[in-house]
């Protein structure tokens, strides 16, 4: 867990606890783009007008939204892919570094709540 290549995959959002089955939330999946090289992480969502699903930046402990065209939801993940913080950031902001953060998920503002991405939830990265 934790070493991927640039490319596409799927983000699977699990429940609050391992093996939780609340039907609707456990196993909820969205398209995922992975940015793991320095070049891909640096570019991130810059120059885009939207994102289809989510973007994973790995490794990453903080993000910024300078020169971005739209607000985003940001989820900070620990080494076990558990969400440790979720924030919505407007363009032109600098996010605070999160000490335990190893990976960061970015998506259009407002969508992560609907996906069930909140503090304590575990996500899974499925590579295509």
Name the percent of the chain in helix, strand, coil, to the closest 5.
Answer: 10, 35, 55
Q: Is the pLDDT assigned to residue 104 strictly greater than 80?
A: yes
Bridge partners of 107? 54, 73
- Whether 1 maps to a domain, the answer reads no
Strands ordered across the beta sheet of 72-77: 83-89, 72-77, 103-108, 54-57, 28-35, 7-13, 123-127
- Whether 102 maps to a domain, the answer reads yes
Number of domains in the chain: 1
pTM of this structure: 0.89
Mean of the pLDDT values across residues 1-22?
74
Bridge partners of 103? 77
- Whether 115 maps to a domain, the answer reads yes
- Whether 99 maps to a domain, the answer reads yes
Question: CA-CA distance, 119 to 75, in Å (whole number)?
Answer: 9
Q: Is the pLDDT assigned to residue 53 strictly greater than 90?
A: yes
Q: Is the pLDDT assigned to residue 24 strictly greater than 70?
A: no
């Amino acid at each position: 867990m934790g070493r991927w290549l640039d490319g596409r995959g799927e983000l699977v959002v699990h429940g609050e606890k391992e093996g939780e089955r609340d039907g609707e939330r456990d196993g909820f999946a969205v398209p995922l783009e992975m940015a793991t090289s320095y070049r891909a992480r640096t570019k991130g969502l810059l120059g885009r007008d939207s994102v289809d699903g989510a973007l994973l930046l790995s490794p990453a402990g903080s993000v910024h939204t300078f020169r971005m065209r739209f607000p985003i939801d940001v989820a900070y993940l620990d080494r076990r892919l558990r969400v440790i913080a979720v924030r919505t950031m407007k363009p032109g902001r600098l996010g605070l570094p999160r000490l335990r953060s190893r990976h960061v998920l970015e998506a259009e503002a407002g969508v992560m709540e609907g996906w069930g991405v909140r503090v304590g939830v575990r996500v899974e990265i499925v590579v295509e």
